[in-house]
Chain A
Amino acid sequence: MKINGMSNSLPDETRLLLSGYVLDDLTSEEMEQVERLVLEDPAALKELQALQASFEVIPQGLTQVTPPARLRERIGSPPGETVVRQRGGMWRVLMGLVAIATLALATDNLRLRNQLAQRIEADRVASILQQPNSRLIALQGNESEAAGTLLFTPGNWKEVIVSLGDLPPLPPEEIYRMWLALDNGTVIYCGEFNTEDNGSVFVRFTPDEAPPKGVKATQLLVTIDGSQTEPDPSRNPVMTGAI
């Protein structure tokens, strides 16, 4: 939205005092001083309210995280409702088992499995490319030479193919994660990956979640996250691509 300058021209010292009032770090004498000032001077009151409003909109600066789909089922139920939670708990146990199995596989003959995966994905690439409306999105490193492409079919976010190069390999405790930003301000988690030793990666994602109907995807983001932590979309992207 269009931003014009402030219509208020109070001295900086007064402005800082008003700011201290909103942040509640004034002495009781200073607080009384501010309260007298704003009751006598409409410009000071207006500025105090603008500072208060600025403080209150700070959460709008967060990159929105999409809540898990199961949460919607709980809305309207009294707090402490546990039926869905138990289901979620079981799901987490299953995911944990899958993660353990994946970890076990990961230690086994990595190169051979990568070659196999690439062959499978080459078939999937061909299959997506055959779709008449398939699209390639360019991704570019924000502070590195990293570059790559993402292939998908608009309207079908169930399968995307990503090919990237020149990404710095990460230590074991970190991992790359990919996100899809939507025009309603939310972000969808797509999946995670690590690079080969040479910094390249070729991976197929099957995201659990697709953009809601009528909501457009605007940007792809790649972040570096802790490999053992929950995906955190608030991290600064290291690669981006406009859709």
Chain B
Amino acid sequence: MARFSKDASDIELMGSLRAGNQKALSILYDRYGGLVYTVALRLLKQPTEAEDLTQEIFFNFWKQDKYDPNRAVLSTYLCLVTRSRALDRLAKRATQQRSLQKLQGLPNRSITPLENATLSEQQETVQSALSQLKDQQRQVLEMNFYQGISHADIARQLNMPLGTVKTRARQGLVELRKRLGNTIE
């Protein structure tokens, strides 16, 4: 059985997991369980449902073995899978899901310097960038991400013209990308 330490890289741990060492899954959970649970809780709102989904995400990650480290770092992959599964649970498999699939027809993006940074550095950088957006832009962008609903639904919820919602969401994403600068290239 493969040997590994708690400082092993994600790739090493995945190799160990594939070789049958389930302890590697516990270490990956210690590394990313908080992140997965946080995203699940943000979308599902209910702690027990977030626990169930976190369990499911790690079980499927282990058993289904669909993760390709050349396409995304593990933290980004787990966040996106959690979001996607949470939206499934909310029965709101809306346009955002298609957007991720649609891009698969284009060349893969490379892993960015931000994603290669430590989790705490990533969080500090993204939190700071988001805090610099206008409140209205951030609100629409977060509704888009965490509720997975169309801009028409957001416009209805906020009682706002559709054009305004679209503009704010697009400007919000452009601003976020500007604030993240070369860390995201």
Contact = CB atoms under 8 A, between A and B. Distances in A.
A54 B185 CA distance: 9
A23 interface: yes
Q: Categorize the interface residue count of chain A.
A: 35 or more
23 contacts: A1-B124, A1-B125, A3-B180, A6-B185, A24-B95, A25-B166, A25-B170, A49-B110, A54-B173, A56-B76, A58-B130, A58-B176, A59-B39, A59-B145, A61-B129, A65-B41, A75-B25, A75-B33, A75-B55, A76-B26, A76-B59, A183-B120, A185-B124
Given A53-B184, A55-B173, 9 more contacts: A6-B185, A51-B177, A56-B76, A62-B123, A76-B59, A76-B62, A79-B60, A85-B48, A185-B124
A118 B124 CA distance: 39
Nearest to A55: B173
Nearest to B37: A67
B173 A51 contact: yes
A19 B172 CA distance: 9
Contacts of A230: 47
B136 interface: no
B36 to A, nearest CB: 8
Nearest to A212: B30
Nearest to A42: B107
A60 B123 contact: yes
B91 interface: no
4 smallest beta-carbon distances between A and B, as pairs: A49-B109, A24-B99, A67-B37, A60-B126
Q: What is the predominant secondary structure among interface residues of chain B facing chain A?
A: helix
B51 A59 contact: no
Interface string B41-71: 1100001101110111011101000000000
Contacts of B38: 59, 62-65
Interface of B: 22, 25-26, 29-30, 33-35, 37-39, 41-42, 47-48, 50-52, 54-56, 58-60, 62, 72, 75-76, 79-80, 82-83, 95-96, 98-99, 102-103, 105-107, 109-110, 112-115, 117, 119-127, 129-130, 141-142, 144-145, 150-151, 166-167, 169-171, 173-174, 176-185
Interface string A48-89: 111111111111111111111001101111110100010010
Contacts of B112: 50, 53
Contacts of A50: 112, 177, 180, 184-185
A43 to B, nearest CB: 11
Nearest to A70: B51
A22 interface: yes
**B95, B117, B130, B182 interface centre (most CB from chain A within 10 Å):** B182
B99 A22 contact: yes
Interface string A15-45: 1100111111100000100010011000001
Contacts of B171: 16, 19
Most A CB within 10 A of own CB, among B124, B169, B177: B177
A15 B119 contact: no
A20 B150 CA distance: 12
B107 to A, nearest CB: 7
A74 B29 CA distance: 11
Contacts of A186: 34
B120 A25 contact: no
Interface string A216-243: 0000000000000010001000000000
Nearest to B130: A61
B180 A59 contact: no
A124 B71 CA distance: 54
Given A7-B185, A57-B126, A71-B37, A185 B114 contact: no
Contact of A23 (B22, B33, B107, B169): B169
B170 A20 contact: yes
Nearest to A46: B185
Contacts of B62: 76
Nearest to B179: A3
A105 B35 CA distance: 38
Contact of A65 (B37, B95, B121): B37
